[in-house]
Structure 1
Amino acid sequence: MNMKSLLLVPLLALFAACGGGGGDDSPSTPETPTLKSITVTPANQTIPLGGTLQMAASGLYSDGKTSAITAGITWSIKGKNATIGSSGLVTATVLGSDTVTATVGSVSGSTGITISQPWAEVFSGGNHAVVLKKEGSLWSAGSNGWGQLGDGTTTDRNKLVVVNGNVLTWKQVAVGEFHTVAVRSDGTLWAWGFNQNGQLGTGTTVDRSAPVQVGTAKDWTSVAAGKAHSLAVNKAGQLWAWGRNFNGQLGDGTKIDRLAPTRVGTAVGWKSVSAGATHTIGLRTDGTIWAWGANESGQLGNGNTTEATAPAQIGTATWVATAAGGAHSMAIRADGALFAWGANASGQLGDGTALDELEPKQVGTETNWANIAAGDAFSLAVKSNGSLWSWGSNSAGQLGLGSNLDKSEPTQVGAGMTWRAVTAGLRHAYGIQTDSTVWVWGRNTEGQLAKGDNANALSPAQLP
């Protein structure tokens, strides 16, 4: 054995004793991913004063994965406009803007919130809509070619704009195809928009892009607007009408247009009125309903298709609510049963057929209907349990069912049970829930859904 060999022996022994870089295959402990950032959702929401909103947080980790954070999280509010619980539930307490923050250790994420006056009522017609806030201000969106939004312009709007005048006393509104009429809390009557047939009631045919007072009376209680005619009830229970009268829809016994409010007969005891495209349905305080105007599809419910230029009673039942659409009508009987009649080509009567009905026909057998609305060829209704139902034409998603398929029978919209009221335009709809949030769906080509774009919505989307 030479000297080199003798030197290698102890070195090899040493390597063997140290493991030699191999032979130990025990698993190593994996690194725990660390939290890098937090995202708070829903982001940048508007909450009505007194309303609540559930927040959630998700984390981005060092391994590139994202997951919900459900433990070890602290929620906080920067200012004093809202409060937040340990579960992330925000309660809006003061008007204004604030910031919601979620914190885990040294990592946090935030989003803004805006607390606004809650919505009070919704009104739709034609291709525009009007929304009333509880503070009394009025907002509008959609088609504005004739100034029907009342903002002083003729520019379409896909976001809500305030109606001119900084008025906080608006009470009730009716939306026609191209015009709008409204009553203030002082009983005055106002109108704006298209006026070709005198539907603004100002004594002229001049269009108006901002509210103009109709006469000087201060005893108006409610209004209605059709395609090009308007009606109003005063405190004395008198009914007045003006605008287009080609089909006798004003009910004054003629077919002459009226440029200013004209008394409908001599009867008193009118409670409310609903205006269809070219026909009218009126409800009296004794629970009787009366109809007049166009009747080509039986929308007057009198058993024939002959026009009527003066109110004629429909049956002898007692009713509590009415709605008039393009060429169909609906009413809720005192026991909560729903009836419909008139045009039915798209299933808007809800009886499972496409056959017109010349007299009121019950929709299903339920007796818990509470609120109804009629669009051009579709119908909407809220039951007393807070559920929302729709049927009829669905070409623009106006049924809110997530598709464009027509329905000839009432179909529930989602699973929500907190709907309070609903209103219908030509092919769009607005609904308000018990928490004062407003939801929109259907046609949006003119921006009438007020969601900042012009894309239709096939399902209800919350108004920002």
Structure 2
Amino acid sequence: MRSIASRHLAPVAFKFWLLFALAAGLGSVHAATVVHMATGPVNSAAVLSDGTLWTWGDNQSGQLGNGSTVSVDKPVQIGSGFAKVAVGGPYMVGLKTDGTLWMWGSVQLRTQTLNETRPVQVGSGFAQLMTSDTASKADGSIWYWGHAKRLFNASAGGDMLDRLPPGYLQMVSNRYNLLFVLGDGAIQFLFVPWDPSALIGMGSWMSGYGSAGPVDRGFVQLALGSYSAAGVKEDGTLWQWRGLDAPALVGGGYRQVAKGSGHTLALKADGTAWAWGSSNYWGELGNATRTESENPQFLGTGYAQVAAAAEHSLALTTDGTLLAWGRNIAGQLGVGPVGQSQLSPLPVVFEGAGAPGMGTMVATGTLTRLTLSAHIQIKPEHLTSGAKGHPYLVAITPDGTMYTYSAPAFDRLNPLNPLAWADRLQNTSSLLFANQDLTHLSGTAFFVGYGLGATTAESLDEMMRSFRYQRVYDIP
């Protein structure tokens, strides 16, 4: 079967093929537009541009919020109306656009332990979700919950959450340590082991994260790993330290830092991402090798957010693509299958996500006598505005060959029935195959969508960038 992408669309069509190939391994749906993401030891979460919340990975404590304790290796939608999400290991927390705070999984609250397999509202009036332990209200007050309650006992404030004392701007924690950013950007450290016997043989690094001194001022964001800590100052400098060592300067121009067990990710103001650390066995650094690095290594450009967990990493690009790499023991990468580590970043696939109602495909009959009809659904605002554009149908066969249809120059999947869509935006249906033996096309996936633009090339490129397409049918 020959490739039949229109000749004048070949460069863009090839780019489109690459998008599908990278995002879905030529067998799944497109990536979705992600606006915020978070990850924990063995699970992850993301909020899409439509406010839907998706989770994946380990689910032993119900922390995926899907109503069960069954783990999944690809994102599943669990709610809508969300703006931010954070992952705390056995629980997750989400902030909705209306200021309500929601939690699920197993988490220690002020007067109770929450054990829920679906999101439960625990507060209202919140302005920002800061970490998996903290959130702030419009009045500037900081509220906390979870594991930190074992290490820190501040003034209680509500039925479910505790309030940090005035002057505390940020808190991050791990099993033994708490780090605070105070009002002047100073670091305050608290070390309270909940299991002192676990400290035997752990070494001096357990004694603290940083010393009191002039260098410990001006911090605006902190990250705490198993063996070290890091912080970004208001002047964009990045500092890192371990044990009782004073913070050491890593470099300038940074705006975010994230830490795993033995690796660090950092994001610069120019959108470049960097990775380094003493742990890269599972591909935590995303450099396509298992080689460790003490110095920051360039990961790429065009990034908006980075996140690191014990042995894997996530990064969000400025176009809304979510990338994941590292260990995948519980499906925390969202790229499946479980157990298969990834040494390089791969796009996370959100099946069924994206712009809803792009179209449908109706199939009747058996594989040897199959009839397929395609329908394209244009959004009302694009119909009423008179926007110029073109509808598309894309087919990807199991061997990775992509076939693109567009008006007015249509090509066919084989010498049967061509599509007959108009070259302007309108809701249109067309018969693709009628009572045909499609055994040779078994496993082919069909996508429909449309793009805005005066030419077919412009429309196809705009459709890709806007993720205005969706998977509608797979031939059995």
CA contact (8 A) 2:167 2:183 kept: no
Q: Verify: 1:161 aligned to 2:81, yes or no.
A: no
Question: Where do residues 39-188 of structure 1 align in structure 2 (5 Å cutoff)?
Answer: 73-75=7-9, 87-88=12-13, 117-163=32-78, 166-167=79-80, 169-188=81-100
1:38 — aligned with what?
3
Does 2:302 match 1:387?
Answer: no
The answer for the alignment partner of 1:460 in structure 2 is 345
Partner of 1:240: 143
Give the C-alpha shift of residue 251 in structure 1.
Answer: 5.1
Matched, 1:361 2:248: yes
Q: Is 1:224 matched with 2:131?
A: yes
- Are the equivalent residues in 2 in contact too, given 1:239–1:264 (CA < 8 A)? yes
Structure 1 SS opposite 2:246: strand
SS, match of residue 391 in structure 1: strand
Q: TM-score, normalised by structure 2?
A: 0.62
- Letter of the 2:271 counterpart: G
Residue identity opposite 1:244 in structure 2: H
The 3 A distance-change label for structure 1 pair 260 and 291 is farther
The amino acid of 2:154's aligned partner reads D
Residue 233 to residue 291, structure 1, CA distance change in 2 (3 Å)? farther
Letter of the 1:38 partner, please give it.
S
Q: Structure 1: where are the runs of 5+ without partners?
A: 1-35, 41-71, 76-84, 92-98, 100-110, 304-311, 343-355
Give the CA deviation at 1:234: 2.0
Are the aligned partners of 1:275 and 1:324 in contact in 2 as well (CA < 8 Å)? yes
Aligned-partner SS, 1:297: helix
- What does residue 397 of structure 1 align with? 283
Structure 1: distance between partners of 2:66 and 2:106: 14
* Residue type at the aligned position of 1:281: L
Decide whether aligned partners of structure 1 residues 132 and 391 sit closer, same or farther in structure 2, where only a CA change above 3 A counts.
Answer: same
Q: How big is the shift at 1:182?
A: 1.7
2:118 corresponds in structure 1 to 210
Alignment length (residue pairs): 330
Structure-2 residue corresponding to 1:451: 335
| Alpha-carbon separation, structure 2, partners of 1:135 and 1:246 | 34
After TM superposition, the score normalised by the length of structure 1 is 0.63
Shift of 1:339: 0.4
**Alignment match, 2:323:** 439
Paired residue for 2:433?
none
Cα–Cα, structure 1 residues 129 and 338, in superposed 2: closer, same or farther, change >3 Å?
same
Which one has more relative contact order, counting CA pairs under 8 Å at least 6 apart?
Answer: 2
Cα displacement (A) at 1:301: 3.5
Secondary structure (helix, strand or coil) at the match of 2:284 reads: coil
Q: CA RMSD in A?
A: 3.3
**In the TM superposition, what whole-angstrom CA distance separates every residue of 1:187-241 from its partner, at most 9, and x where no partner exists?**
111111123xx1xx27322421111111x4323522422xxxx333222222222
Paired letter, 2:68: T
Describe the SS at the equivalent of 1:135. Answer: coil
1:420 aligns with 2:304: yes
Q: Is the CA contact 1:238–1:268 (under 8 Å) kept in the aligned structure 2?
A: no
Structure 2: runs of 5 or more not aligned: 21-25, 194-203, 350-476
Relative distance call for 1:437 and 1:39 in structure 2 (3 A) is farther
Find the structure with the greater CA-based Rg: 1
Amino acid at match of 1:408: E
Helix, strand or coil for the counterpart of 1:162? strand
Aligned residue type for 2:35: A
Greater per-residue helix proportion: 2
How far has the Cα of 1:268 moved from its partner? 4.4
**2:37–2:84 Cα contact (<8 Å) kept:** no
Contact 1:289-1:313 at 8 Å conserved across structures: no
Change in 2 beyond 3 A, CA 1:117/1:417 = closer
Which residue of the other structure, out of 397, 409, 422, is the alignment partner of 2:295? 409
Q: Deviations over 1:129-170 (max 9, x none)?
A: 00111111111110001111111111111010012xx32x21
1:395 deviates by: 2.5
Per-residue CA distance 1:7-46 (angstroms, 9 max, x = gap): xxxxxxxxxxxxxxxxxxxxxxxxxxxxx61177xxxxxx
Q: Deviations over 1:390-429 (max 9, x none)?
A: 122113111112222332222222xx32122110121111
Partner of 1:338: 238
- Mapped partners of 2:100, 2:222: distance in 1: 24
1:307-348: CA deviation from partner (whole Å, max 9, x where unpaired) = xxxxx9985521232212224221112222110122xxxxxx
From 132, 157, 172, the counterpart of 1:274: 172
Question: Between the two proteins, what is the percent identity of the paired residues?
Answer: 26
Aligned to 2:154: 252
The worse-fitting range, judged by mean Cα deviation, of 128-137 and 317-326 is 317-326
The 3-state SS of whatever aligns with 2:160 is strand
